[in-house]
A and B are shown apart, each in its own frame.
Chain A
Amino acid sequence: MNYADLFRVTLPETVLEVAALLVLFADLGLLRKAALKTRVTAAAVLGTVGCAVAVWAVYYEGAAGLSFGHNLLLAAGGSAGVAQVGILVLTAITLLLLIDCEFTRNAGEYVAVMLMAAAGGLIIAAAQDLLVIFIGLELLSLGLYVLTAFAKKSGKSAEAAMKYYLFGGMSAAFLLFGFSYLYVLSGSTYLPRVIYGVNIAAFNGGTPLLCVALVMIAAGLGFKVTAVPFHLWAPDTYEGAPAPAAAFIASVSKVASFALFITVSYTALNYFRILIPEFSAPGSHSYVTLRAVSGRLHETLSFLSGWASVLIVLAVASMIFGNLAALAQSSVRRLLAYSAIAHAGYILLGLAYFSWTNVSAQAILYYILTYGLTTVGAFGVVSVVERATGSDRMDAFLGLQRRNPLLGAITLVLFLSLAGIPPLVGFWAKFNLFAAVLGTSHSSTALGLVALAIAMSAVSLYYYLQVLKRVYVMPAVEETLVRAHPVTMTVLLLIALAVVGMGCFPALLQGWIASFY
């Protein structure tokens, strides 16, 4: 192992950690006597600068030409690069939305914890080794528990954090247990070797153990991406956590976890592509078709198609349960939580029909990045409304269009994009994802699942419109203006413009993602 390379590949994480320490230093040292407003602003700005420098570091390590096969613990470039830049940008946006918040007096600590959690996200996105994956996940999760609990005066915040922590701890236990089985079966923690060893083990009759290991891993990762039935913490946490923390959980943590899913799928499929020549034939490059073309290796490979069926089960359950449960919500935060579950379902479908080419990876990254951006904006809107009305009930949104026309318009754009209405970016995200699924497999099952996903997004339109109906159609109860900090409004407006702009020119983001490969 070359330590210079290792340093270069961990440069973004290092930058974030240094930034976190700087924030702490500034906040607790230089600005101890300053007003809360100044401290929040200083911390957020410092953190944003740190993120910007880390983005540069990502490009730098990408340009250094380090990628898979260097036997480093972390990858650079490719999907990892895209996800890392996405994580950093979303973190920066969340930090900027913090400027207006007053749920805590310890702004510096909050920002520092957030930056450290983001560093965990960066590690997950790039990890190539089971132990590194686990460390990254824990770094991220521990940060998130703290962030959730940060509104110390709020009982709900503490309750949410407690639930999140208990559930997360249990999931982490499952995950680690699953990893240990994989280590037993393969004798390695390095992902490509694990895949290889698992393959040998399955050939020698290790399938039952493998099944248990895979399901445990699915449980651990399903918790992170809020897949049904590992989603139970999400509504409570989204509702109770301070708004910036909820936004951070809904976006950054999701991006990192799905990036991990992509790494695992990509490594596995490319391994088998080398192993079985027929597998490279066009139209037969997914787990599901894998089984059909590989009769002679049936025993070895069957567990992989089993993995796909686990993902399909999770995807279908998430799509149906998330969307239907969202229909019944009267709290917008809970609604966003259930909608997050539904969106995770769509993405899991894309992962179940993963292609060894870059198409699936890029479609999933496109989806998760745009979803993260939109959902951060949505939480920003919720947080502004909450501060003005003291509630996140749907009725708090009554007459928003009169009380703050710009915020009303931003809500319209963001929620319609979440519902996948063209010409907003949410439409293209869904379109690309489903096109990738259908491009990977021509089976009627895939078609049926995509049809289900589309039907479910039609259902989702109903609950998004419930919010918009209150913003635009129903009569206002109060007429007082809803005010927000100019920075908050600017950030939200920029998010809305990005959603519209990327929707009108979908190739912009696609081209940017493709430039990493």
Chain B
Amino acid sequence: MIEQAVPFTPQLTASPIAEILWLIPAVPMVAAGVIALLKQPRRTAAATLAIGSLGFSLLLSLVAFGHVLAGWSNQVAVRETVNFTWIQVGASTVDLGWVLDPLSAVMMVMVCFVGLLIFIYSTGYMAHDENFTRFFCFLALFAGAMLGVVIANSLLLLFMCWELVGLTSYLLIGFWYQKPSAAAAAKKAFLTTRVGDIFFLLGIVWLFNDTGTLLFYDHGAGSMEGFALAGLLSHHVALGLTVAGAIGLLIFAGAAGKSGQLPLHVWLPDAMEGPTPVSALIHAATMVAAGVYLIARVYPLMSAGMPLIRAGAVTGTTAALAVVTWIGAATAVFAALIAIAQNDIKRILAYSTVSQLGYMMAGLGLGGVAVGMFHLITHAFFKALLFLGAGSVIHGCCDEQDIRRMGGLKVDMPLTFITYAIGMLALCGFPLVFSGFWSKDGILEAAHSGAIQGPFYLLVFGALLTAFYMTRQVSYVFFGYWRGHHPAHESPGVMTVPLAILAFFAIALGAIGTPAWPWFRAFLDGRSAAFNWHGFAEPGLALLMLTSSLVVFLGIGLGIWLYGGKSPSPEEPDVLEKATPWLWAGLRDRLYVDEFYGATVIAFYGWWARAADWLDRWIWGGIVAAVAGFFGLWAKFNRLLDMHFVDGGFDKTCEEIATGGGLLARVQGGRVQIYLRILAIAVVVLAAILFWSSRA
């Protein structure tokens, strides 16, 4: 059994704010519907509606967050649910609902806030696009769907919004559908995530079959609560895997698809074909984090059967969590390796996102909800910052994305440079000042205290790589001298102000998760937090912080040593390429994962499609043609009969009727006498049937 140490008294009854929580996703969705009806030139109206609706959602989320916070400071663990029956078939019902607890409160504030900044930024970035209104329609729909994922208290409702999010992601990646690469990337993203979603759906169906509910929390009767979990634990599938573990793994497959984990990560880098605000909002800050959020939501299921959780400190693991950990850690290193050898400014960030999502997954697997979620929140801010910074750079360099054709931008775009540098240092985990340091440190600490040290070493290596590739990118873009064609210019204030705000949070958010004041973890776990310098004095912690700082310094140092101050021309091979051409080629070509899929899965589907085509064309087509031919012949035969035998008499009759009575014939068209005759015959036939069947 699970012992969740919650010293706070739980609050389960829904407060007024929980009752109207559904407005948070509904308002942006309605706004999207209204924008869809606007004509193309109504740009201001579209942007105002989108921003206004999300602003409203932000206000409401802040109120909800405040409510949870007030509960927390009164030592009440808020978990308010509002459920209703959606479908009823016989005795079984499918219920939907929403939940207000610290997890959803934190997440919705983040989504609304980052989303709002990116909406504002988009009005500048997309100012010249002719499909401005369509863009905001999709953005608003996305925001609504994402908020739906966040507040859902039912796996089914979550799945619906999850699919809506996938749809908007598809629409936005392919926003410039005239570009073949964008259209292909959209298709790839949709299909790849679909692979994960199929497993997710299987998991949902299995869960419903075994527990009879898809609600997470339902006053003890939900699927994430003790009774249902105990039932799931009591059955084993195979190899000692419990049903809970198996369902957890299926759900994780869905999360892996959405969050770009190995081996379903291939779509995320290609998704950078979409407009940059989309990359920032959907493919960095929010949607890709939905997978992580999902795992955090079903964490009771994933961790069911864990020996003991004592006051938030995890001592043990389950099969499902072990898989999450290892896949996360492997993804973190794998993607970081590839990021080294990329030259597209957004592609580097995309691989970095994949890698950081790996960290979050590993954090969830090793340290529980709070550890993973803290990195999710900090990452959302600094990665959105980096993407928007990259967008600003691209905007300023006239749509140039190759970092080898940039350089020296720190002079031309000072505001962008400063904010980008803050984001980069946060991502690298530069010690003490930046939020990324504290959140990554939490994950490393959890990995270090785990039973197996493998993930720890992987994650430390990943941190080294992260610092290295980010230094390489920044050196190329902002230092050295300008290698592009047109002179660069700084972006307008509507773009730089969101950058500054995000930069502020990229630093400030660190304050709520330091070992001295682990407020974030306490808030999510429902414990009280006190400020205490002795937090740093825990055994091994100082050493760990030192190690991680050293690793970061090493990575940045290596980067500066190899790339600092140099401005190689675009045609010149990279420093590392000169040293190890084969390794560089492998990394540059993304370790051939796409090629591998092309040669296996896609080739198989091609073959299968050809086989099905052949079957359709020759076998089924043949049968249909044979039947059609037979009836054709039959018809010809009938016509022959008709023409020579029947028609003679029929024509005669027709003439008589036509001459006989124009109006009368038409009134009698229905032939009520025949109707009544049929009625009488039918009664006799039916009586015979009844009589015969009651004899039998």
- Chain A residues with CB under 8 Å of chain B are 155, 159, 162-163, 166-167, 170-171, 174, 207-208, 211-212, 214-216, 218-219, 223, 229-230, 232-233, 236, 302-303, 305-307, 309-310, 313-314, 359, 428, 431-432, 435-436, 439, 505-507, 510-511
Contact = CB atoms under 8 A, between A and B. Distances in A.
B654 interface: no
A167 B687 contact: no
Given A211-B694, A306-B693, A232 B686 contact: no
Closest 7 CB pairs of A and B: A306-B694, A229-B682, A232-B675, A215-B687, A507-B85, A302-B694, A306-B690
Given A163-B670, A230-B679, A309 B90 contact: no
B93 A208 contact: no
A211 B687 contact: yes
Contacts of A163: 670, 672, 675
A212 B684 CA distance: 9
A218 B694 contact: no
B678 interface: yes
Nearest to B89: A435
Chain B interface bracket (under 10, 10 to 19, 20 to 34, 35 or more): 20 to 34
Given A236-B670, A302-B694, A305-B694, A170 B676 contact: yes
A159 B667 contact: yes
Contact of A219 (B86, B90, B672, B683): B683
Q: Is the interface of B mostly helix, strand, loop or mixed?
A: helix
A302 to B, nearest CB: 4
Given A211-B687, A236-B670, A229 B678 contact: yes
B686 A171 contact: no
Contacts of A236: 670
B86 A505 contact: yes
Given A236-B670, A309-B690, A506-B88, 15 more contacts: A162-B672, A167-B676, A207-B694, A211-B690, A211-B691, A212-B687, A219-B679, A229-B678, A230-B682, A232-B679, A233-B675, A314-B686, A432-B89, A505-B86, A506-B86
Contacts of A214: 690
A407 to B, nearest CB: 16
Contacts of A167: 672, 675-676, 679
B694 A219 contact: no
Contacts of A207: 691, 694
Nearest to B672: A163
Contact of B88 (A159, A230, A309, A507): A507
5 contacts: A162-B672, A163-B672, A232-B678, A233-B675, A305-B693
B84 interface: yes
Q: Which of B84, B679, B690 has the most C-beta atoms of chain A within 10 angstroms of its own C-beta?
A: B690
Nearest to A167: B675
A170 B674 CA distance: 13
B85 A511 contact: yes
A219 B689 CA distance: 14
A229 B85 contact: no
A160 to B, nearest CB: 8
B87 interface: yes
Contacts, number: 90
Interface in B634-680: 667, 670, 672, 675-676, 678-679
B686 A313 contact: yes
Contact of B84 (A216, A230, A507): A507
Contacts of B89: 431-432, 435
A337 to B, nearest CB: 12
A511 B87 CA distance: 10
A438 to B, nearest CB: 10
Contact of B691 (A171, A208, A435): A208
Given A215-B690, A233-B675, A306-B693, A510 B88 contact: yes
Nearest to B86: A507
A219 B686 contact: yes
B672 A166 contact: yes
Contacts of A216: 683
B87 A309 contact: no
Contacts of A428: 87
Contacts of A435: 89-90
Contact of A215 (B88, B681, B683): B683
Contacts of B84: 507
Contacts of A218: 686
Contacts of A223: 679
Contact of A309 (B85, B667, B689): B689
B88 A307 contact: no
Contacts of B676: 166-167, 170
B689 A310 contact: yes
Contacts of B678: 229, 232
A162 B669 CA distance: 13
A170 B693 CA distance: 26
Contacts of B686: 215, 218-219, 310, 313-314
A432 B92 CA distance: 12
Contacts of B85: 507, 511
Contact of B667 (A155, A170, A212): A155
A400 B682 CA distance: 41
A500 to B, nearest CB: 12
Q: Which of A174, A208, A302, A306 has the most CB of B within 10 A?
A: A306
B432 to A, nearest CB: 51
A309 B693 contact: yes
Contacts of B681: 229
Nearest to A219: B683
Contact of B679 (A171, A302, A305, A510): A171
A510 B93 CA distance: 11
Contacts of B691: 207-208, 211, 306
Nearest to B674: A232
A216 B681 CA distance: 12
A206 to B, nearest CB: 11
Nearest to A162: B672
Contact of B690 (A155, A166, A230, A310): A310
B87 A506 contact: yes
B683 A174 contact: yes
A507 B675 contact: no
Contact of A507 (B93, B679, B694): B93
Which of A307, A435, A506 has the most C-beta atoms of chain B within 10 angstroms of its own C-beta? A506
B294 to A, nearest CB: 24
Nearest to A317: B682
B93 to A, nearest CB: 7
Contacts of B690: 211, 214-215, 303, 306-307, 309-310
A208 to B, nearest CB: 6
A483 B670 CA distance: 33
A313 B694 contact: no
Nearest to A156: B667
Contacts of B87: 428, 506-507
B502 to A, nearest CB: 37
A303 B84 CA distance: 44
Interface in B208-224: none
A357 to B, nearest CB: 9
Contacts of A229: 678-679, 681-682
A514 to B, nearest CB: 8
A159 B683 contact: no
Residue among B84, B86, B89, B681 with the highest chain A CB neighbour number at 10 A = B89
A214 B689 CA distance: 12
A243 to B, nearest CB: 19
A507 B85 CA distance: 6
Contacts of A170: 676, 679
A79 to B, nearest CB: 17
A171 B90 CA distance: 36
Contacts of A305: 693-694
Contacts of B689: 309-310, 313
A138 B672 CA distance: 21
B470 to A, nearest CB: 46
A314 B682 CA distance: 10
A431 B87 CA distance: 11
Contacts of A174: 679, 683
